[in-house]
Amino acid sequence: MKKRLLSIFAIALLIAGCSKGDIDSVNSQSLSDKNVSTQTDSINGKSKLAVEGTASIDASTVQQTIKGFGGANIVAWTGDLTSAQRTTAFSPTNGIGMSIVRVRVPNSSSEFAAEKPTIDACKSFGGSAIASAWSAPASMKTNNNIVGGKIKTASYGAYAAHLSSFNSAVGGLAAISPTNEPDYQVNYESMELTAPEVADFVAAQGSNCGAPIMAPEPFQMNQTYINTYLSNATAKSKTSFVCGHIYGRTPYNLGNVGKPVWMTEHYTNSSISGDDWSNAMNAAKEIHDCMNAGWSAYVWWYIRRSYGPMSESGNIQKVGYVMAHYARYVRPGYSKISCTSNPTTGVYVTAYKSGSKLVIVIVNQNNAVTYQPFGYSGITVSGFNRYFTTSSTNLSTNSIAVSGGSFGINLEPSSVTTLVSY
């Protein structure tokens, strides 16, 4: 997406797809398998009623490898990030810690160089860049227009050369997509391609696009579209990453597609400030859902936007702080490991490791202090640095000593917490 805001139709889809009924599912584990207890928080004295179960972490059971968490920077449409804003976006020590920047492949080679400074900045902080083409140059399309139309079969080679030239101009991409939402008809820069048509291009020219292919990038991570694309064996062999967006769609496991899955664009609500805490908590749960679905990347839409991680003036907003709970501490190359995803009513947990380091991210949707017990195996831990964000605090920190393979903590009401072992 989106040179401008979604159409009314798309907004309706988004609202429907992000309803509380879809995102706030309750663990089916029976109450007889859990402990129900009332406890008092040692910090603020608030009492709580917790329907709790242990979050069991098994570091020996490795799931997907994490590519990262990021956002889009579309220079032609919103202007580039400033130098200070790049640090705010990508620094894992004093910024959000985004490790992916997504950019647009311009239609004209004269615009290529403008994308490079922010790409270079992301890389300097240990991240990577991915690129999507909203449209091939008009001369390479069936309607001679950057809106709608298809790639001319006769122009497949020229279009691949165009993508490869962009990759070279910006200094190398982690992946490139020849299409953006090819299954979604719009009135701005776009192409309308069936899954077999995207597959035909990749089968013919996927090895000549300069960077690994991510595809087919449908509007709602449509599995039928993805599976149809992957049914072209040659296209599948030339595809490194399966990617898509989740507008109006709750993240779900695609099954064995044989490739890492990346979520390459979404935002939760463009009419609400990125500093709105309820909206930020929706984003936190959405990131959890993507990771729990087995996906390896989560990429927000515009990095700098009123509804985004960073305000137009360059300040981190609440959406940015909840993204930081993942992006700062779960870096590229970390592995997601087995963990009870919804151990307690309203509590959602994912766990990750890198070598001997264990990282746990916890989203507490409850409006009361909630006690959460943990058990861990397959890794040795002596303690954690704890970071938590609430409606009134940002990445507050303290430490927790642990031993014996289990521990418990009181989660602040409506909060996101990250535990990083030391």
Q: Does a structural domain hold residue 7?
A: no
Domain that holds residue 394: 34-62+336-421
Q: Does a structural domain hold residue 2?
A: no
> Could you say which of 115, 181, 189, 412 is catalytic?
181
Are 162 and 280 contained in the same domain? yes
Are 229 and 356 contained in the same domain? no
pLDDT digits (tens, 9 = 90+) for 184-198: 999 999 999 999 999
* Residue 82: C-alpha distances to residues 70, 89, 336 (Å): 17, 10, 33
Q: Would you say residue 18 has pLDDT above 60?
A: no
pLDDT digits (tens, 9 = 90+) for 126-153: 999 999 999 999 999 999 999 999 999 9
Q: Does a structural domain hold residue 17?
A: no
Q: Would you say residue 44 has pLDDT above 60?
A: no
Helices (H), 178-299: 195-205, 223-230, 233-237, 277-292
Are 270 and 402 contained in the same domain? no
> Considering the entire predicted model, what is its pTM?
0.89
Q: Would you say residue 174 has pLDDT above 90?
A: yes
Distance (Å, whole) CA 240 – CA 262: 11
Single out the residue of 369, 351, 372, 374 nearest to residue 414, CA to CA.
Answer: 369
Q: Does a structural domain hold residue 263?
A: yes
CA 147 to chain centre: 27
pLDDT digits (tens, 9 = 90+) for 255-292: 999 999 999 999 999 999 999 999 999 999 999 999 99
Are 307 and 381 contained in the same domain? no
164 or 5: which carries more pLDDT confidence? Answer: 164
- Given 282, 299, 332, which residue is the final one in a domain? 332
The answer to whether residue 217 is catalytic is: no
* CATH code (residue 346): 2.60.40.1180
Are 169 and 91 contained in the same domain? yes
| HSE-CB for 372 with a 13 A CA cutoff | 31
pLDDT digits (tens, 9 = 90+) for 329-365: 999 999 999 999 999 999 999 999 999 999 999 999 9
- Res 52: pLDDT: 76
Are 270 and 152 contained in the same domain? yes
- Res 282: pLDDT: 97
- Res 131: pLDDT: 98
Looking at 30-39, 44-53, 244-253, 314-323, which range is the least confident one?
30-39
- Res 59: pLDDT: 98
The percentage of residues in the chain with a pLDDT greater than 70, rounded to a whole number, is 88
Distance (Å, whole) CA 195 – CA 396: 46
Are 84 and 173 contained in the same domain? yes
* Residue 93: C-alpha distances to residues 31, 88, 284, 371, 422 (Å): 41, 9, 20, 29, 16
Query: Using 50, 70 and 90 to split pLDDT, how confident is the model at 2?
Result: low
| Stretch 159-167: mean pLDDT | 98
Q: Would you say residue 38 has pLDDT above 70?
A: no
Contact 277, 268 (CB under 8 A): no
Average pLDDT for the chain: 90
DSSP secondary structure of 152-204 = -GGGHHHHHHHHHHHHHHHT--SEEES-SSTTS--SSB-----HHHHHHHHHH
Contact 282, 23 (CB under 8 A): yes
Are 272 and 203 contained in the same domain? yes
* CATH code (residue 241): 3.20.20.80
Q: Would you say residue 48 has pLDDT above 80?
A: no
Q: Name the 3-class secondary structure at 218.
A: coil
Instruction: Please give the helix or strand (H or E) that residue 78 lies within, else none.
Output: helix 75-78
Are 282 and 405 contained in the same domain? no
Q: Would you say residue 219 has pLDDT above 70?
A: yes
Contact 87, 95 (CB under 8 A): yes
- Given 286, 310, 332, which residue is the final one in a domain? 332
Q: Does a structural domain hold residue 190?
A: yes
Q: What angle do CA 393, 396, 398 make, to 5 degrees?
A: 150
Give the count of domains, the chain.
2
- Given 285, 301, 332, which residue is the final one in a domain? 332
Are 82 and 183 contained in the same domain? yes
Are 286 and 310 contained in the same domain? yes
Instruction: Please give the helix or strand (H or E) that residue 77 lies within, else none.
Output: helix 75-78
Q: Does a structural domain hold residue 21?
A: no
Place of tokens 């990445």: 395
Q: Is 405 left (phi over 0), alpha (psi -120 to 50) or beta?
A: left
Q: Does a structural domain hold residue 25?
A: no
Burial of 53 (0-12, 13-18, 19+ CB in 10 A): buried
Are 97 and 206 contained in the same domain? yes
Q: Would you say residue 21 has pLDDT above 90?
A: no
| Stretch 380-402: mean pLDDT | 97
> Could you say which of 189, 192, 265, 412 is catalytic?
265
Place of tokens 């919804």: 342
Q: Would you say residue 321 has pLDDT above 50?
A: yes
The answer to whether residue 265 is catalytic is: yes
